[in-house]
Amino acid sequence: MYRCAVLALLALPALARAEDKDKLPEWVEPMRKVHSKFTGTRGTLALFGDSITVSLAFWAGLPGERKGMDDAAKADFETVNGHQKKECWRTWRGPAYGNEGRMTIRWADENVEKWLKKLNPETAVVMFGTNDLTSVPLQEYEKKLRAVVKKCLDNGTVVILTTIPPRSGMLDKSKKYAEAARKVAKDFTIPLCDYQAAVLERRPDDWDGAAKQFKKYSTYEVPTLISTDGVHPSNPSKYANDYSAEGLKCNGFVLRNYVTMTSYAAVIRHAYRPKK
pLDDT tens for the chain, 276 residues: list them. Answer: 444 444 444 444 444 444 566 689 999 999 999 999 999 999 999 999 999 999 999 999 999 999 999 999 999 999 999 999 999 999 999 999 999 999 999 999 999 999 999 999 999 999 999 999 999 999 999 999 999 999 999 999 999 999 999 999 999 999 999 999 999 999 999 999 999 999 999 999 999 999 999 999 999 999 999 999 999 999 999 999 999 999 999 999 999 999 999 999 999 999 998 765
* DSSP one-letter code for 99: B
Residue 206 lies in a domain: yes
Q: Which of 193, 267, 274 is nearest to 29 (CA)?
A: 267
pLDDT for 174 equals 98
Contact 205/24 with Cβ under 8 angstroms?
Answer: no
Contact 202/265 with Cβ under 8 angstroms?
Answer: no
Q: Which domain holds residue 133?
A: 28-271
Helix (H, G, I), strand (E, B) or coil at 96: helix
Count CB neighbours of 234 within 10 A. Answer: 27
pLDDT for 23 equals 86
Residue 189 lies in a domain: yes
Count CB neighbours of 274 within 10 A. Answer: 7
Residue 119 lies in a domain: yes
pLDDT for 233 equals 99
The CATH number linked to 60 is 3.40.50.1110
Residue 13 lies in a domain: no
Contact 119/47 with Cβ under 8 angstroms?
Answer: no
pLDDT for 276 equals 55
**Based on the structure, what is the number of domains in the chain?**
1
* DSSP one-letter code for 127: E
Residue 59 lies in a domain: yes
Contact 194/260 with Cβ under 8 angstroms?
Answer: no
Measure the CA–CA gap between 109 and 179, rounded to whole angstroms. 19
Residue 53 lies in a domain: yes
Residue 235 lies in a domain: yes
pLDDT for 127 equals 99
pLDDT for 273 equals 81
pLDDT for 19 equals 55
pLDDT for 265 equals 98
Residue 164 lies in a domain: yes
pTM for the whole thing?
A: 0.92
Q: Which of 202, 213, 217 is nearest to 6 (CA)?
A: 202
